Structure 1
Amino acid sequence: MDLTYLLDRISEPLLLAAGGLVVGVLFGAFAQQSRFCLRAASLEFSRGAPKDRLPVWLLAFSAALIGTQVLMILGEVQASEARQLASPQSLSGALFGGVMFGTGMVLARGCASRLLVLSATGNLRALLSGLVFAVVAQASLRGVLAPVREGLAGLWTTGDIGGNDLTAHLGLTPAITISFAALWLVAGLVFAWRARVRIWQLLAAAGAGLAIPFAWWFTSAMARQAFDPVQVEGVTFTGPSADTLMLVLSPPGNVLDFDIGLVPGVFLGSFLAALLTKELALQGFEGGRSMARYLTGATLMGFGGMLAGGCAVGAGITGASIFAVTAWITLTAIWLSAAVTDRLLTRNGKSRAAAADEASQPA
């Protein structure tokens, strides 16, 4: 699609922000309606009790992979110009950051995108956790935590293995990548059939996943047709959350771009979807212990997401859709650490319950 008509009438920065807003609205609305959540999906899988969240995540994941790969085959997306493939990435950061992010999302009961979606529906726990996530992400990018992040990220990079393109390392053809993505789709449909997931929820999950190739297509088109350089990118929330926070806190005049429109768009899309379906409801913390858990999780996600180069959506699904090595490492680390953290929390919870029961027994 030619964007010349829009570029002749709208400034490039404003058009980029508008594109981010549209992508965000679509992702937010579909994610809210589908209950898209990596934390819930990973816990269902690790506990061996898949319900609706696992098939929803699998359908969104497969839709992102298939849509992006098809656009790459058609020449509509220049994945080689994406940050994940165009510059060296951190393998150690993907591993350590993924572990921290997976642990954090279990403690905060949602990944970065889920917190943003929930906050728009009136969940004050998610809103405060999301703000802490953005603050820590900014501190990890340019603040006091930046030296720690840079030290961990520099331990092992993709320069040591000859690049971050998994298809090049394994010699994968487009037919193989499409077939591989189709396996995830089949798995999602099988789990959905067994759990009797509603058709609308599955369609919404696919819609949330297709927002990612839409973002790849839009930024690729802008990179080809805009006068100023434009970064080819998909959907991610760690960096954009930090940038949006600084836009609010810093003086006006900051440059508009795709990321600046994305976060408000997701919030708006989730809010509108919840409003139309009458799902808006104020929710708060249940006590000090609960609040400490959420904020600890948000802190781990903020640092871990920036260290890994993105969140569960950005470093995981978006990066995986172009088969970046670091994305698959991050995604694997998130799933494994989430399962381990859930197992430890469950064990500790049972121990506390047993101790309380014993203390209540008469001497």
Structure 2
Amino acid sequence: MNLESLVNLAGEAAVLATGGLLIGMAFGGFAQVSKFCLRSAVIEFSKGLLGSKVAVWLLTFSAAVVSTQAVIGFGSLDVTGARQLAARGSLSGSLIGGVMFGAGMILARGCASRLLVLSATGNLRALLSGLVLTIVAQASLRGALSPAREMLSELWTVQGGPSRNLLSLVDGVPQFGLWLGVAWLACALWLARRARIGYLIEASAVGVGLAVGAGWLFTYSVSQVSFAPVQVKSISFTGPSADTLMGLINSPSLTLGFDTGLVPGVFAGSLLAALITREWKVQGFHDGPSMWRYLIGAALMGFGGMLAGGCAVGAGVTGGAIFALTAWMALAAMWIGAVITHLVVDGAVAGSVLAEPLVDQSSGR
């Protein structure tokens, strides 16, 4: 049975939710095995190292770029209608929100996706931080914080279309994005072999990136056989997590869609991987004051992610894979905000309330 037959039989909403669930499970499982985490990569990079954490992140990013640009090159995917390219974008939001998200990522010891993955492994710190992030994100989107978000977003904007597409600068060079991705992938493989991270982790990191490409291809394919409008998108967490939580709270049933399946899918895939590898373990806070670090970081990520147009995955990897200008600006701002926060909080003011004794949450310990 082909995709069109499935859509005619079950409806595009059910098909999108099922696809989101399966792609989310793949993402969650691969992310748990590879310990994919932008925060860990930033910390390693801030120490002047290009080791295993940077290699894992670059493997994921480059695999997402290669897979997405490959299907675009073959004519199987058109992302010109994606919100990251088609709608008017906020450059000020990308920069300010990206810095806030990067800072929050360091304080909460994980980005939005990593908190969701770790929650499935029994990490109560990540679970509470993820809930706070989600509530603040919802308040930033439609609640009390939305006026502040809108005001900051309007400071510097860019029109949708070619102005938001970095590849439009090299319009005469076919498959330029694909070749860039291949070059980055080769570099990532070299770093991975030098760091000796092992074939399983290498393959899992690539799997995380391929899940992003699969999300783009799947939603576009459904949009081509559906009578109802379908938004072409891929993996993101800030907005979908907020919508999923608010749907569970405010409605007896959820509106089905790609995002509806994605969030529980990531949780289920991470849980399954943690159980198989025997890494599931209940973990809590070390003390009362240390909670401030996580709560402040989660709040910064909730507002910053909505302002920047996505999280470290939604903007940084998913948006980066289609070379959206605002996504690349947000990703750069996340790195800058995270490096500065790490050097200040975990360096210069070590011993303060925020500088909790280091426990590597990115590894699930």
Query: Is this a same-fold pair by TM over 0.5?
Result: yes
CA contact (8 A) 1:129 1:294 kept: yes
List alignment gaps of at least 5 residues for structure 2. Answer: 354-365
Q: CA deviation at 1:232?
A: 0.1
Which ranges of structure 1 fall in alignment gaps of 5 or more residues? 354-363
Shift, 1:170, TM fit: 4.1
**Equivalent in the alignment of 1:201:** 201
Q: How many residues align?
A: 353
After TM superposition, the structure 1 stretch with the greater mean CA deviation from structure 2, 122-131 or 172-181, is 172-181
Write the distance in 1 (CA, Å) between the matches of 2:86 and 2:347. Answer: 44
Q: Which amino acid aligns with 1:157?
A: T
Change (3 A) 1:47 1:172: farther
Q: Secondary structure of the equivalent of 1:173?
A: coil
Name whichever of 64-73 and 248-257 sits farther off: 248-257
Q: Which runs of 4+ in 1 moved over 4 A?
A: 350-353
Larger Rg: 1
Distance (Å, rounded) in 1 between the aligned partners of 2:350 and 2:140 = 35
Q: 1:94 to 1:172 in 2, by over 3 A?
A: farther
Letter aligned with residue 117 of structure 1? V
Match of 2:215 in 1: 215
Q: Which residue of 1 aligns with 2:141?
A: 141
Deviation at 1:24, TM superposition (A): 0.4
Higher alpha-carbon deviation: 245-254 or 281-290: 245-254
Which residue pairs with 1:33 in the alignment?
33
1:316 and 2:313 matched: no
CA contact (8 A) 1:69 1:174 kept: no
AA at the equivalent of 1:273: A
Shift of the alpha carbon at 1:5?
2.1
Find the aligned partners of 1:324 and 1:300 in 2 and give their Cα distance.
Answer: 23
Q: Does 1:306 align with 2:275?
A: no
Give the drift of 1:351.
Answer: 6.7
RMSD: 1.7
Q: Distance in 2 between matches of 1:306 and 1:270?
A: 24
CA-CA distance at 1:174 after TM superposition? 3.5
SS at match of 2:51: coil
- The answer to whether the Cα contact below 8 Å between 2:66 and 2:178 also exists between their aligned partners in 1 is yes
Cross-structure match for 2:361: none
2: distance between equivalents of 1:221 and 1:162? 23
Partner Cα distance (2:93, 2:37) in 1: 23
Q: Which residue of 2 aligns with 1:235?
A: 235
* Structure 1 residues 17 and 161: CA distance shift in structure 2, 3 A: closer
Counterpart amino acid of residue 174 in structure 2 = P
Give the Cα–Cα distance (whole angstroms) in 2 for the partners of residues 253 and 51 of structure 1. 45
TM-score by length of 2: 0.93
Deviation track 1:202-255 (CA, whole Å, cap 9, x = no partner) reads 000000110011000110011110111000001100110011111110122442
Paired residue for 1:341?
341
Displacement after TM superposition at 1:49 (Å) = 2.7
Q: Is the 8 A contact 2:88 2:160 kept in 1?
A: no
The reply on whether 1:87 has 2:122 as its aligned counterpart is no
> What does residue 248 of structure 2 align with?
248
Greater helix share, 1 or 2?
Answer: 1
Distance 2:102 2:74 in 1: 35
Q: State the match for 2:6 in structure 1.
A: 6
* Cα shift readout 1:131-174 (whole Å, capped 9, x = no counterpart): 00100000000000000000000111112996211111343633
Q: CA deviation digits over 1:261-297, x for unaligned, max 9? A: 1000000000001111111000000112211100100
- 2:272 match: 272
Residue matched to 2:108:
108
Aligned residues of 2:87 and 2:161 also touching (Cα < 8 A)? no
Percent identity reads: 53
